[in-house]
Amino acid sequence: MTNPVPGMAAQLERFRAALAAGGKRYGWKVAFNDPAVQQRFGLEAPPIGWIDGRLAVDSGAAVPLRQGQRVHIEAEVMLHIGADVAADAPLDVLRGAIAGVSPAIELVDYAIPGDGLAQIVEHSMFHAGTVVGERRRGIPADASAALSRVLKNGAHAAGPIAGRVPADLAEIVGLVAAALEAHGERLIAGDRVICGSYIAPFPVVPGDAVTAEYGFGLGKVSVSFAAGA
């Protein structure tokens, strides 16, 4: 990524302000990994967003949905970064920085204002939460085929879309490291990265329950939704 992304400086201001207020650094998300969306916004690559650790929950949690929210589900995998990463590192070094992988679900809320790319990037591409499954050692031999299916209330709701996630997760590590370096940040040990949605996002309402099932020994990640205040 060579050109600064509109809204990224403002997003990182929010990120740094949260840390200054006592928040804990958590990680980053790959957004808009649908080529058609990138083309619509004139992007050269998927943009990167900050994951708010205050909105991260473990698999099995019940998440409250407030009136007026329009929350959708994205099925992803999460990388646990075990070493500081330089964007120009070779793929084997980038691959070696992955200390583990978890199944994950990102929640996005399309009720968050999105008047143009800069505003969308500033609020981290509609980010509304992350649900994280059990961390596993090693990485899938072909991450592009890691997701099996997503169930909503016990019925099939979505399957993986080919080409959304690269086979080699080292490519994601390099993408995120390069995007952060272009905006004065670094990908460091302890960061987590969710790698972009395998599926077209679908909506949920209070009373719904969602499970994403994965192959390669990754297991599954689940979340349910309740009415919030």
Q: With respect to residue 210, please indicate whether it lies within any of the assigned structural domains.
A: yes
Q: What is the pLDDT of residues 80-137, one digit of tens each?
A: 999 999 999 999 999 999 999 999 999 999 999 989 999 999 999 999 999 999 999 9
| pLDDT digits 0-9 by tens, 181-209 | 999 999 999 999 999 999 999 999 999 99
pTM of the entire predicted model: 0.95
Per the structure, the count of domains in the chain is: 1
Flag whether 66 is in a domain: yes
User: Is it the case that residue 40 has pLDDT exceeding 60?
Assistant: yes
Domain with 149, as residue range(s), is 8-227
- Round to whole Å and give the CA distance between 55 and 227: 16
The predicted pLDDT at position 229 comes to: 72
pLDDT score of 49:
97
Confirm whether 78 is domain-assigned. yes
Is residue 1 domain-resident? no
Residue 4 has pLDDT above 90, yes or no: no
Query: In this structure, is residue 221 part of a structural domain?
Result: yes
* 37 found inside a domain: yes
Q: 104-113, 150-159, 220-229: which has the minimum mean pLDDT?
A: 220-229
Single out the residue of 21, 141, 128, 118 nearest to residue 68, CA to CA: 128
In a domain, 182, yes or no: yes
CATH of the domain at 210: 3.90.850.10
Whether residue 99 is contained in a domain is answered as yes
Of all helices (H) and strands (E), which one includes residue 48?
strand 48-51
Q: Is the pLDDT of residue 161 over 60?
A: yes
Does the pLDDT at position 1 exceed 80? no
